[in-house]
């Protein structure tokens, strides 16, 4: 059994231990120590990462520290930690000799951040349960975010109230208590738990806010969480999913969003608290100009259509830089002339254009036959209904111009 030093002091970052087992597995090494500060994955919290150094023959802290700083080639990088049958396996990138002394150090920034998130989750889950009676049915502590799933719906107003109360718990700086009640004591405790637990149950209590079975390390006092901020919510499986950030993650999220607001306000030449209104005004202006542009384009297309002269009962037109809506509108206008069939081919205005969009319509034959002929001739794709088709041709401009000449010649004959 590996002694779990992280339960004795969740803020301990370094430790000394003895290697009791080391075995290779798929190019990495699973290292077992007699004791460890490394927390194995569990309770919704990912494993600690960090480093181990062999210290056999080094008797003073100064020598150990110098070894840690200068002997990178002897550093064992721990990338994952798992527990099985009471043994904690540290996944390292090199082996350590059984019986050797080692010094370990966890990635404290990562561990502390995860403790901030996890204790924050307990506060929020406890509040939602006590106020609304909903249960936490899902918890995911990712590298950049935390999600909490509850089995009941909550409004934005209700979530804001929960968030406010959760930050009130932080301001109270309440001690986070850990206990190991026996079977009889456990019967008297009303605690949260998502699964049935066998053996010793570890209870994490935040007085006045939450009592929950949990195997993960937590901060010692709620004030160490710093801040709880909800950054997203969505309806999920009949309940609600909350995305939140705590502590330094919340600060980082705030800094990122502040930078975005500053960038937007600078671009629009307004104060930061006026940025949202300025964006709305800009959207309205874009909408107005888009409608004006569409109206002007319709007038231009009408003028163009009036000045097109069909060859017999067929009209074929080569245009530039029309979008799909404009192409269909133009063909509808052209079909109002005394024609049976109309083919509109559109390029992007570039001399080296290799893709041409087309729209074809006919009153007298199935337009899909026209699409098939165009597609076969010019490596195209597309289709539609009997009265109108659209697609794209993969070819050169001179090929399109030659195609138009051939169609006109056939019609004239």
Shared domain for 44 and 137, answered yes or no, is: no
Classify residue 26 as left (phi > 0), alpha (psi -120 to 50) or beta.
left
Say how far residue 210 (Cα) sits from the centre of its chain.
29
| Same domain? 118 vs 249 | yes
Buried b (16+ CB within 10 A) or exposed e, 314-352: bbbbebeebeeebbbbbbebbbeeebebbbbbbbeeeee
Within a domain: 260 = no
The 8-class DSSP code of residue 74 comes to G
Decide: 123 and 148 in contact? Cβ < 8 Å.
Answer: no
Could you tell me the CATH number of the domain that includes residue 330?
3.10.310.40
- 144 and 239: one domain? yes
Q: Does 379 fall in a domain?
A: yes
Which residues touch 230 (CB under 8 Å, ≥6 apart)? 159, 160, 162, 163, 242, 243, 244
Which residues partner with 179 through β-bridges?
A: 203
Residue among 395, 392, 335, 324 at smallest CA distance from 364: 335
pLDDT of the residue at 63 = 47
Q: Cα-flanking dihedrals φ and ψ of residue 58, to 5°?
A: -110, 115
- 288 lies in the same domain as 333: no
61 vs 54, 57, 101, 167, CA distance in Å?
13, 12, 13, 41
pLDDT at 137: 92
Structural domain tally of the chain? 4
**Interacting residues of 23 by C-beta distance below 8 A, sequence separation 6+:** 29, 30
Which of 79, 106, 133 delimits the end of a domain?
106
**What is the rounded CA–CA span in Å between residue 114 and residue 118?**
6
Are 330 and 277 within one domain? no
Residues 91 and 156 in one domain: no
Q: Are the C-beta atoms of 248 and 116 separated by less than 8 Å? A: yes
Matching residue, tokens 């569409």:
294
The greatest distance separating any two alpha carbons of the chain, rounded to the nearest whole angstrom, comes to: 104
Query: Domain holding 195: CATH number?
Result: 3.30.980.10
Q: What's residue 352's pLDDT?
A: 62
**245 in the same domain as 120:** yes
Supply the pLDDT for residue 73. Answer: 62
The answer to whether residue 128 sits within a structural domain is yes
pLDDT of the residue at 316: 86
The CATH number covering residue 32 comes to 2.40.30.130
Q: Does 336 map to a domain?
A: yes
pTM, to two decimals: 0.76
Give yes or no: residues 208 and 336 share one domain.
no
Please give the pLDDT value at position 310.
79
Of 78, 106, 134, the last residue of a domain is: 106
Identify whether residues 121 and 247 lie together within a single domain: yes
Structure tokens at 247: 């502590």
Residue 141 sits in the same domain as residue 162: yes
238, part of any domain: yes
Q: Please tell me whether residues 84 and 142 are part of one structural domain.
A: no
Range of the domain at 93: 3-106
The strand pair at 341-347 and 355-362 is best described as antiparallel
Number of H helices and number of E strands within the chain? Answer: 10, 20
Mean pLDDT for each 10-residue chunk of the chain (413 residues)? 95 97 94 97 92 78 50 84 94 95 97 97 97 94 91 95 98 97 89 76 95 95 98 93 96 95 94 94 96 94 89 85 92 90 83 81 91 90 93 88 80 56
Same domain as 312, residue 301: no
Using CA atoms, how far residue 393 sits from 31, 291, 346, in Å, is 62, 30, 10
**Which residue, among 29, 156, 177, has the nearest Cα to 96 in the 3D structure?**
29
């Amino acid at each position: 059994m590996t002694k779990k030093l992280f339960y004795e002091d969740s803020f301990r970052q370094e430790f000394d231990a003895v290697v009791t087992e080391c075995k290779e597995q798929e190019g990495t090494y699973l290292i077992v120590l007699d004791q460890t500060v490394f927390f194995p994955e569990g309770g919704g919290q990912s494993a600690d990462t960090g480093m181990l150094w062999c210290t056999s023959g080094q008797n003073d802290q100064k020598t150990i520290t110098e070894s840690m700083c200068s002997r990178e080639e002897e550093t064992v990088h721990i990338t994952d930690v798992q527990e099985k049958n009471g043994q904690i396996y540290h996944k390292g990138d090199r082996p350590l000799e059984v019986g050797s002394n080692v010094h370990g150090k966890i990635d404290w920034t990562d561990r502390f951040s995860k403790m901030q998130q996890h204790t924050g989750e307990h506060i929020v889950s406890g509040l939602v349960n006590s106020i609304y009676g909903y249960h936490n049915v899902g918890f995911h502590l990712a590298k950049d975010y935390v999600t909490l799933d509850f089995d009941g719906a909550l409004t934005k107003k209700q979530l804001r109230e929960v968030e406010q109360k959760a930050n009130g718990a932080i301001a109270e700086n309440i001690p986070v208590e850990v206990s190991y009640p026996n079977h009889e004591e456990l019967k008297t405790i009303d605690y949260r738990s998502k699964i049935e637990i066998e053996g010793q149950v570890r209870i994490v209590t935040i007085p006045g806010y939450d009592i929950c079975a949990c195997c993960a390390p937590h901060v010692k006092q709620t004030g160490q969480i710093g801040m709880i901020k909800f950054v997203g919510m969505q309806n999920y499986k009949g309940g609600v999913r909350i995305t939140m950030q705590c502590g330094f993650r919340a600060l980082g999220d705030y800094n990122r969003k502040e930078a975005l607001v500053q960038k937007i306000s600078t671009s629009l030449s307004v104060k930061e608290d006026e940025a949202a209104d300025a964006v709305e005004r800009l959207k309205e202006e874009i909408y107005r100009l888009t409608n004006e542009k569409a109206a002007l384009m319709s007038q231009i297309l009408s003028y163009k259509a009036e000045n097109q002269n069909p060859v017999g009962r067929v009209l074929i037109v080569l245009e530039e830089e029309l979008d799909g809506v404009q192409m269909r509108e133009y063909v509808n206008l052209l079909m109002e002339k005394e024609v049976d069939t109309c083919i509109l081919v559109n390029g992007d205005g570039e001399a080296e254009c290799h893709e041409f969009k087309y729209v074809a319509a006919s009153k007298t034959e199935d337009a899909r036959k026209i699409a098939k002929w165009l597609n076969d001739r010019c490596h195209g794709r597309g289709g539609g209904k009997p009265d109108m088709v659209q697609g794209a041709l993969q070819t050169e401009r001179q090929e399109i111009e030659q195609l138009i000449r051939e169609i006109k010649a056939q019609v004239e004959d």
